[in-house]
Chain A
Amino acid sequence: MGIQLTNPFLVFVSNQGLSNLRAKEILARDGLNALTPPPTTPEWVKFCKQLFGGFSMLLWIGALLCFFAYGIQAASEDEPANDNLYLGVVLSGVVIITGCFSYYQEAKSSKIMDSFKNLVPQQALVIRDGEKKSINAEEVVAGDLVEVKGGDRIPADLRIISAHGCKVDNSSLTGESEPQTRTPDFSNDNPLETRNIVFFSTNCVEGTAKGIVINTGDRTVMGRIATLASSLDGGKTPIAKEIEHFIHIITGVAVFLGVSFFILSLILGYGWLEAVIFLIGIIVANVPEGLLATVTVCLTLTAKRMAKKNCLVKNLEAVETLGSTSTICSDKTGTLTQNRMTVAHMWFDNQIHEADTTENQSGATFDKSSATWAALARVAGLCNRAVFLAEQGNVPILKRDVAGDASEAALLKCIELCCGSVGGMRDKYFKISEIPFNSTNKYQLSVHKNATPGESKHLLVMKGAPERILDRCSTIMLQGKEQPLDDEMKDAFQNAYVELGGLGERVLGFCHFNLPDDQFPEGFAFDTDEVNFPTENLCFIGLMSMIDPPRAAVPDAVGKCRSAGIKVIMVTGDHPITAKAIAKGVGIISEGNETVEDIAARLNVPVSEVNPRDAKACVVHGGELKDMTSEQIDDVLRHHTEIVFARTSPQQKLIIVEGFQRQGAIVAVTGDGVNDSPALKKADIGVAMGISGSDVSKQAADMILLDDNFASIVTGVEEGRLIFDNLKKSIAYTLTSNIPEISPFLLFICANIPLPLGTVTILCIDLGTDMVPAISLAYEAAESDIMKRQPRNPKTDKLVNERLISIAYGQIGKNTTAGFFTYFVILAENGFLPMDLLGIRVGWDNKYVNDLEDSYGQQWTYERRKIVEFTCHTAFFASIVIVQWADLIICKTRRNSILQQGMKNRILIFGLFEETALAAFLSYCPGMDIALRMYPLKPCWWFCAFPYSLLIFLYDEARRYILRRNPGGWVEQETYY
């Protein structure tokens, strides 16, 4: 980040600020002080992306081929068949309707996104022409003199020229959970570390500061990160890659079938034109017309289900991505932690006590009976300037807003929870005088009136850096009794201090002193400038330590991710000690796993002597990361299972994500801050926090956790894996009807029989009866515990592989015979015995032959023949529907028996009913014979397919039985999809 610390505008600094005129000039030159929103794709481009993306292209090509074939027919024949024209129109219609549907879905979620946008205009207090005035933050220009105070949002990047106790919350920019002090001193070469710069869109927590604007708008640090994020390309989602792979396979099959029958038809003596039409017909027949809609609807259903569980998915395809995720890189502050300081531990009576840090106060509590605790609580409550904001009486204590420093707020809430109203306590002990905290003496003290009988009239309370406090004490309180502070106790203090500090907690020491009544009678004038009262030889009471505690649901969620084979990595801008402590707390570094440093400390050897391979966990500092080559980074990523990256910059987060992606991992990144947004964008799936997340991070993310609950990620993984499995089933089911649809055409070409199944009936299956059952498979429950298996390997575990195609086309494709059986039965009932059908096609389709003889010598007119033919189409269609019953039931499971899986999926049963009802309706509805040329079927024709249906069901049950009995055997290798 190249911020110039020496600033050209510094020359002009005066208390007058910029002149209005000059400000106008600069505003005209630099533009408004606002982040340029990422280039929004125009709506029509978005729509076109839906129309021409991935799977749609397959259908478009199919449609074009149809129109082309129709063109050939129209040119070469007098009265061309309209089938190809209809088919082309229907294919285009399907693509357009599905495109509109998914466009609508995504527009809906982007509407929710828009609602996140912060519409409240920010105000900034600037000094221009020597006058203070409040202007819209967008009009702030470089060189402006700006004043900020506690609670303000910083309007631009400022260089501080004067400050009073100013602290800023940089967590959204750097990930540091603690507020940072800001002074005019230049303390570090790194602009992010130096004390004298505050950043655009961070918050001033307390104090006041005056500064000169050094950068505005996109030139601010925040703006550069946002620009970096929007310049990155997210790449293709895993499911898009899978669909592409599927298209390759299906195109391969289609072209292979088409070309071989093209050659065959030439050999059989058809003309060139006819052969080309056959070729196109076969290729188009391979296109699964309904699949695009099925996949879209399945993904939408899952997206809806996830939205109900508070995961908002911005891009439909991202629904599945979490399911294939193998690495989660999580930010710490605000994602894994609550982003509020809370008292975690206390040390008094020479013992460490644990405080309850859970959000709903369901954790363990400690012994509050000791008199020392009462004294400690009193000091913590009195020597504390934080107050609850007014009118929050019925808000739970932990949720109340507090004015004041984060750690004082933590103390206030802790005491309010444990000991009741702090306000009451402060009323009882009236504050006479106080010395606020400053960085030179590192303590804060106050003197209060004390009405407690048995104690002196005035009580002095003090808190501050533990070692400074201890230096000022000569006694220590143990079990409520003052005792001299000996070396043994000092050692005990030191141990406790080191231990709490090692947990990454901020530790404060507390002491008090009963000012003797003889020296300090009532009405004594305490002077804080002269300090006319003792501040040494006090009585030490205890320590309290604070941390930004992990969210309650996180450890459990991390554990679940672990058991699902997902690596969870922490990448944070915060300090290593805090990061490591939280990582241990939430299980990112699991119990018993040590880092190199831990091993070195345990064995008492230098770090360099420890073999890095012995340590499973490691903590990498951003500074080290900067000097690593990409091979070294790969080495770290590969050989450690539990990694914490601390003090990382936004670019380094990006490098880490790329490192994982280089190794073939599918990476999810979770984060809430601006500093996470480049990584969120680069990741295969970026997950942002809905409540605490910054706008920039939400824009960069693919998924938003509306309740900020990390545990929702587990839901996402589960849903993603489930939909991947179910899509496989859906596709397998849809493809099974492909062969029964193509084979009639093939036989029509080769055996010269009347066409058994027409284009209209094929469309009725693909876009009619098969739709609901295929979609219903998206509701199928998981076959086994999907959260206990490893994430899929994107290289080997494909959505559609050759085995699925061979099952769908080859084995289940046998259901074709059911259709042909029905076809031959009907023709035989009408007098055409199967053997006499061979070669009958030319006469059959000739309009001018009105005396075609059947096997019994009856003569058939063209019109009567066609009625029989279309009745056969209808019957063929009906038998496919009946066989699809069995297919649907066997596609429910890939491994289990239907007896294990059960028929609990009601949508699927509805699908069975609905497809049968639709088939009956199409066959029996009056007028269908004219509209679609579908004729009523005699009841017995429906039953022709029943045995085949049963056979397929039994066959597949047997296959899956063998598959289960011989894991890894031939059947599994060849048929498990």
Chain B
Amino acid sequence: MVVLVLVVLCSWLAPALASGGDDEKDYDSAFEYDYESLRIGGLVFAVLLFVMGIVLIVSRKCTCSKSDKLRSRGPDVESGVPRA
């Protein structure tokens, strides 16, 4: 959850940082929209989501292979010892 909040924050902050500064009085400003910072924010958002997805998959792989190893070792040990 924390990560999600971070992502949202980042995507809002990035355009703000990118376009800090110039505030000239313009009466058409209601009709102007800062597409440049929107673009940057959107892309940051996309990249972050993508990276999170990848991290998710990779972390799954790790935990999975570990537990697999543990599981497969069990029966091997058992059958390796000849009984009676």
A446→B38 CA distance, assembly (Å): 98
A923→B42 CA distance, assembly (Å): 8
Contact A909/B46 with A924-B38, A924-B39 known, Cβ cut-off 8 Å: no
A909→B59 CA distance, assembly (Å): 13
The one of A356, A365, A924, A926 in contact with B46, judged by C-beta atoms closer than 8 angstroms, is A924
Contact yes or no, B83 A914, CB < 8 A: no
Contact yes or no, A910 B84, CB < 8 A: no
Interface flag for A906 (CB, 8 Å): yes
A914→B40 CA distance, assembly (Å): 18
Residues from chain B with a CB closer than 8 A to the CB of A921 are 42-43, 46, 50
The one of B35, B41, B42, B52 in contact with A913, judged by C-beta atoms closer than 8 angstroms, is B52
Known contacts A906-B60, A920-B45, A920-B49, then 8 further A-B pairs from the complex at CB < 8 Å, ordered by chain A residue:
A356-B84, A361-B84, A909-B53, A913-B50, A920-B46, A924-B38, A924-B42, A924-B46
Interface flag for A917 (CB, 8 Å): yes
Q: Which residues in chain A, 902-918, are within 8 Å of chain B measured between CB atoms? A: 906-907, 909-910, 913-914, 916-918
A937→B43 CA distance, assembly (Å): 12
A916→B38 CA distance, assembly (Å): 16
Residues from chain B with a CB closer than 8 A to the CB of A937 are 42
Residues from chain B with a CB closer than 8 A to the CB of A396 are 82
A887→B45 CA distance, assembly (Å): 23
Contact yes or no, B56 A913, CB < 8 A: yes
Report the tally of A-B residue pairs with Cβ distances under 8 A. Answer: 65
A939→B11 CA distance, assembly (Å): 11
A920→B51 CA distance, assembly (Å): 14
Residues from chain A with a CB closer than 8 A to the CB of B38 are 924, 936, 938-939
Interface flag for B18 (CB, 8 Å): no
Interface flag for B79 (CB, 8 Å): yes
Contact yes or no, A925 B57, CB < 8 A: no
Interface flag for A796 (CB, 8 Å): no
Contact yes or no, B57 A910, CB < 8 A: yes
Contact A917/B47 with A360-B79, A906-B56, A910-B56 known, Cβ cut-off 8 Å: yes
Contact yes or no, A917 B79, CB < 8 A: no
Interface flag for B33 (CB, 8 Å): yes
Contact yes or no, B39 A918, CB < 8 A: no
Q: Which residues in chain B, 7-60, are within 8 Å of chain A measured between CB atoms? A: 33, 35, 38-43, 45-47, 49-50, 52-54, 56-57, 60
Residue pairs across A and B with Cβ atoms less than 8 A apart, 12 shown, are A356-B84, A906-B57, A907-B60, A913-B49, A914-B50, A914-B53, A920-B46, A920-B49, A923-B42, A924-B39, A925-B43, A937-B42
Contact A361/B43 with A913-B50, A917-B49 known, Cβ cut-off 8 Å: no
Residues from chain B with a CB closer than 8 A to the CB of A924 are 38-43, 45-46
Interface flag for A362 (CB, 8 Å): yes
Contact yes or no, A917 B50, CB < 8 A: yes
A195→B30 CA distance, assembly (Å): 103
CB-nearest residue of chain B to A359:
B79
CB A923 to nearest CB in B, in angstroms, measures 6
CB-nearest residue of chain A to B33:
A938
A533→B35 CA distance, assembly (Å): 112
CB B62 to nearest CB in A, in angstroms, measures 12
Q: Which residues in chain A, 880-938, are within 8 Å of chain B measured between CB atoms? A: 906-907, 909-910, 913-914, 916-918, 920-921, 923-926, 936-938
CB B60 to nearest CB in A, in angstroms, measures 4
A554→B49 CA distance, assembly (Å): 48
A939→B42 CA distance, assembly (Å): 9
A365→B57 CA distance, assembly (Å): 49
Which of B35, B79, B84 is most buried by chain A, counting CB atoms within 10 A of its CB?
B84
A920→B40 CA distance, assembly (Å): 11
The one of A360, A361, A910, A926 in contact with B39, judged by C-beta atoms closer than 8 angstroms, is A926
CB-nearest residue of chain A to B40:
A924
CB B5 to nearest CB in A, in angstroms, measures 15
Residues from chain B with a CB closer than 8 A to the CB of A362 are 83
For the complex of A and B, 10 pairs with smallest distance between CB atoms: A924-B42, A913-B53, A920-B46, A917-B49, A917-B50, A921-B46, A910-B53, A906-B60, A917-B46, A924-B39
Contact yes or no, A936 B39, CB < 8 A: yes
Contact yes or no, B56 A936, CB < 8 A: no
CB-nearest residue of chain B to A368:
B84
Residues from chain B with a CB closer than 8 A to the CB of A920 are 42-43, 45-46, 49
The one of A365, A916, A917, A926 in contact with B84, judged by C-beta atoms closer than 8 angstroms, is A365
Residues from chain B with a CB closer than 8 A to the CB of A918 are 46
The one of A361, A365, A909, A936 in contact with B82, judged by C-beta atoms closer than 8 angstroms, is A361
Residues from chain B with a CB closer than 8 A to the CB of A356 are 84
Residues from chain A with a CB closer than 8 A to the CB of B83 are 361-362
A926→B49 CA distance, assembly (Å): 18
A939→B82 CA distance, assembly (Å): 67
CB-nearest residue of chain B to A905:
B60
Residues from chain B with a CB closer than 8 A to the CB of A906 are 56-57, 60
CB B17 to nearest CB in A, in angstroms, measures 17
A937→B41 CA distance, assembly (Å): 11
CB B69 to nearest CB in A, in angstroms, measures 14
Residues from chain B with a CB closer than 8 A to the CB of A361 are 82-84
CB-nearest residue of chain B to A772:
B53
Contact A909/B43 with A365-B84, A917-B49, A938-B33 known, Cβ cut-off 8 Å: no
CB B3 to nearest CB in A, in angstroms, measures 11
Contact A917/B53 with A360-B79, A362-B83, A936-B35 known, Cβ cut-off 8 Å: yes
CB-nearest residue of chain B to A365:
B84
CB B58 to nearest CB in A, in angstroms, measures 10
Contact yes or no, B84 A936, CB < 8 A: no
CB B66 to nearest CB in A, in angstroms, measures 15
Residues from chain A with a CB closer than 8 A to the CB of B33 are 938
CB-nearest residue of chain A to B35:
A936
CB A277 to nearest CB in B, in angstroms, measures 35
Residues from chain A with a CB closer than 8 A to the CB of B52 are 913
CB A904 to nearest CB in B, in angstroms, measures 10
CB A106 to nearest CB in B, in angstroms, measures 27
CB B65 to nearest CB in A, in angstroms, measures 12
Residues from chain A with a CB closer than 8 A to the CB of B39 are 924-926, 936
CB-nearest residue of chain B to A923:
B42
CB A921 to nearest CB in B, in angstroms, measures 4
The one of A360, A907, A909, A936 in contact with B42, judged by C-beta atoms closer than 8 angstroms, is A936
CB-nearest residue of chain A to B45:
A920
Encoded as 1 (CB less than 8 Å from any B CB) or 0, chain A from 792 to 824 comes to 000000000000000000000000000000000
CB-nearest residue of chain B to A916:
B49
A361→B78 CA distance, assembly (Å): 12
A385→B83 CA distance, assembly (Å): 28
Residues from chain B with a CB closer than 8 A to the CB of A936 are 35, 38-39, 42
Contact yes or no, A909 B49, CB < 8 A: no
A360→B76 CA distance, assembly (Å): 11
A921→B44 CA distance, assembly (Å): 9
CB-nearest residue of chain A to B12:
A939
Contact A907/B46 with A360-B79, A936-B35 known, Cβ cut-off 8 Å: no
Which of B35, B41, B42, B60 is most buried by chain A, counting CB atoms within 10 A of its CB?
B42
CB B46 to nearest CB in A, in angstroms, measures 4
Residues from chain A with a CB closer than 8 A to the CB of B54 are 910
Residues from chain A with a CB closer than 8 A to the CB of B47 are 917
CB B13 to nearest CB in A, in angstroms, measures 13
Residues from chain A with a CB closer than 8 A to the CB of B57 are 906-907, 910
CB A706 to nearest CB in B, in angstroms, measures 16
Residues from chain A with a CB closer than 8 A to the CB of B49 are 913-914, 916-917, 920
Residues from chain B with a CB closer than 8 A to the CB of A910 are 53-54, 56-57
Residues from chain B with a CB closer than 8 A to the CB of A914 are 49-50, 53
A551→B50 CA distance, assembly (Å): 49
A159→B70 CA distance, assembly (Å): 57
Which of A362, A910, A920 is most buried by chain B, counting CB atoms within 10 A of its CB?
A920
Which of A909, A914, A918 is most buried by chain B, counting CB atoms within 10 A of its CB?
A914
CB A304 to nearest CB in B, in angstroms, measures 14
Residues from chain B with a CB closer than 8 A to the CB of A907 are 57, 60
A398→B4 CA distance, assembly (Å): 59
CB-nearest residue of chain A to B75:
A360
CB B33 to nearest CB in A, in angstroms, measures 7
